[in-house]
Chains A and B, each alone.
Chain A
Amino acid sequence: MKLMIGFAILTMGVGIWGLLTRRNLIKIVLSLSIAETGLQVLMVSIGYIKGRTAPILDSAVGITDAVHKVVDPVPQALVLTAIVIGVAVDALMLSYVIRLFAKKKSLDISDYRDMKW
């Protein structure tokens, strides 16, 4: 699991690097999305316990001994929430990009300096 956590942290780093260096608006949105994915993988892998199965208590797992057979369900529930919020935020940001592009016909963030001082 250490490998998975390392990979997730690396993905977050890549996302933040992209967020800070890219100039294309769509690439900025994508970078935020990548960082988000890293965070989600990190959260799920924290809840993982070696050799256990998904927290679905059907006949293969059984109710009585389930505590020793399933992984932690709480981070998974949190990640489910995080994914949906992520989709909502991405859709909203992309529609801002569409509006900005309709106004100035440019996707380069350095063309939008109206609020900069």
Chain B
Amino acid sequence: MIQFNHVSKRYGATHDILSDVSFHLEKGEMAFLTGRSGAGKSTLLKMMAMLERPTSGQIVVNERQLCQMKRRHIPELRRDIGIIFQNYKLLNDRTVFDNVALPLIISDAFDRREMARRVRAALDMVGLLSYESALPMTLSGGEQQRVGIARAVVNRPLILLADEPTGNLDPVLSREIMHVFEQFNRVGVTVLVASHDVKLIKEMAYPVLAIDQGKVVRKDLTSQSGSARHG
């Protein structure tokens, strides 16, 4: 589903953020991406959604060669991916409902009734159903993060990419959000979560892609608790 082959990313003339990165994630797999701040976790996620282009190497996402992808095909790629941003990227002049409905509106494939049903289901999943008429700026950081999560999952993406989704949440809510990701993963969605919450990562015990000095090392922990996780 996601494949990186010898991918490098350089900012400016000398600043290598990623160097010769290669890894792959199978369809329906869930994994964590870890590394210290500034290690390149966000850059790696952004490259999967064509928000950044690699300096060299090949990236394949959902059988699409991203390096050869034309600009006009980028929206199709992004519709297959639900992205949760560290800084939420919500529209502050629109209600929570309208923010979550955005991926459905742009897809031109849902009537109002179906859209409302899906949006409410997504909001319910993140525990914000009663906030649908609120403006994002009236919500706390954690609540805004959950609106972002609802928006990312409302279109039932094939891939979920989350950049520090629990950074603003308390441990209980963090576990609940991770549980939401697990639910999507169980129905076949490929999930990659960038986080530096070591405790949470150990608790969840999914494979870990660790970025260290621009390289990615895969640490497979699934054998330890995979059966327990999938119940």
Is chain B found bound to chain A in the same assembly?
Answer: no
Residues of A within 8 A of B (CB): none
